[in-house]
Amino acid sequence: MNFREEIVKINDCVKFDEPMSKHTTFRIGGPADVYIQINSRDELRTVCSLCDEHNVPVLILGAGSNLLVSDAGIEGVVVKLSGEFKRISYDKTKIYTGAAVYLQLLVHQLIEQSLTGFEFIAGIPGTVGGAVIMNAGVKDRSISDVVETIEYQTPEGESKTVKSEEAGFGYRKSGFPRGAIITTAVFKLKKGKKEDIETKVHEIISSRMDKQPWQAHNAGSIFKNPENDYAGRIIEKLGYKGKCFGGAGVSEKHANFIVNKGNASAMDVRKLIREIQTKAKDELGILLELEIKIVGRDIEVEN
């Protein structure tokens, strides 16, 4: 029995040659060989074991934000977590969340629970799992400030739990082993006044909408902010604000965002990225590191 015949036996949520443009906020990306929605830990272990047996690569997909997929698509299996990975439960000021919980859903549920400390995440796209892996956040706060413990599955299928201080968190990064899959996270917050929390969340979202290109397809911030500076300011200084290549353009609203103007290819976006990085290094001596992840068949190591 070949790999495709075996994987369709796991559940009825398997698709072949699925366009990744349907599943990324950029609306860019060629087909994944296999796309499967996973609803339980047992299914996840089965998929990973099957892929390991057949030497097939696995990519875990969160909300499809912070991601640029190659025009040539993705080799192997793209796994979308759902089902039990979308559960949320509470124990006083502790919140237990599955990796597939959308950050904005969690933000608004925490308002209802009158729990404060998570407001800074308001307006940031993505899921809990993706946010933990990249230590998502804002200038002075990150997920690592509020997460207490994280459960993940190793490539071998073993479940492990680590405390926040053991997770190797840094600026927009973590130290989980290669191939680790976040399954749940526990956050520790504080009780607050619902009205105050709600007001703060609305203020943060309004500010983001004013400053960022919410209505255009994009993948969030393209580059990490260099120490003591802002990538957007640097890109604007270099004269790239509003510059286009093919169907991709640097946002007129915020220069650290590249937007899909309707028919952008991944190559269009990559061309802009490389131009900006080269210019920043040659003219300012600044190395702009990617915040987004670039994945797919014809991708050299760019992350």
For residue 156, the model assigns a pLDDT of 82
Examine the domain organization and report whether 91 and 202 are in the same domain.
yes
Give the tokens for residue 287.
């190395």
Has 208 been annotated as catalytic? no
pLDDT of residue 301: 44
Is the distance from CB of 204 to CB of 120 less than 8 angstroms? yes
Kindly state whether residues 99 and 187 are assigned to the same domain. Answer: yes
Active site (annotated) includes residue 172: yes
Structure tokens at 81: 């977590």
Asked if 101 and 186 sit in the same domain, the reply is yes
Q: Is 113 left (phi over 0), alpha (psi -120 to 50) or beta?
A: alpha
What pLDDT, in 10s, does the model give residues 163-209? 999 999 999 999 999 999 999 999 999 999 999 999 999 999 999 99
- Catalytic residue, chosen from 172, 174, 251, 270, is 172
Position of tokens 């706060």?
141
Q: Record the pTM.
A: 0.93
What are the pLDDT digits (tens) for 206-259?
999 999 999 899 999 999 999 999 999 999 999 999 999 999 999 999 999 999
Same domain membership, residue 255 and residue 150: no
The residue range of the domain holding 138 is 85-210
Domain final position from 22, 51, 83: 83
Q: Which residue has the tokens 């609203």?
A: 253
Q: What is the structure's pLDDT at 299?
A: 74
Number of domains in the chain: 3
Q: In this structure, is residue 300 part of a structural domain?
A: no
Distance CA 265, CA 69 (A): 9
Last residue of a domain, one of 83, 113, 138: 83
Same domain, 76 and 90: no
Is the residue at 283 inside a domain?
yes
The two beta strands, 88-91 and 94-98, are: antiparallel
144, 221, 251, 265: the active-site residue = 221
pLDDT at 300: 56
Q: What percent of the chain has pLDDT over 70?
A: 99
The CATH number of the domain holding residue 20 is 3.30.43.10
Considering the candidates 18, 43, 151, 291, report the single residue annotated as catalytic. Answer: 291
Q: Per-residue pLDDT averaged across 34-63, rounded?
A: 96
User: What tens digit of pLDDT does each residue of 117-163 get?
Assistant: 999 999 999 999 999 999 999 988 999 999 999 999 998 889 999 99
Does the annotation mark 291 as catalytic? yes
Q: For all residues of the chain together, what is the average pLDDT? A: 95
Note whether 136 and 164 are same-domain residues.
yes
Looking at 188, 210, 232, the residue that finishes a domain is 210
Polymer length of the chain: 303
Give the whole-angstrom CA distance, residue 150 versus residue 161: 6
Q: Among residues 268, 267, 223, which one has the least CA distance to residue 244? A: 268
Q: What is the pLDDT of residue 155?
A: 83
| Whole-number pLDDT of residue 157 | 85
Q: What is the mean pLDDT of residues 97-107?
A: 98
> Does 196 share its domain with 100?
yes
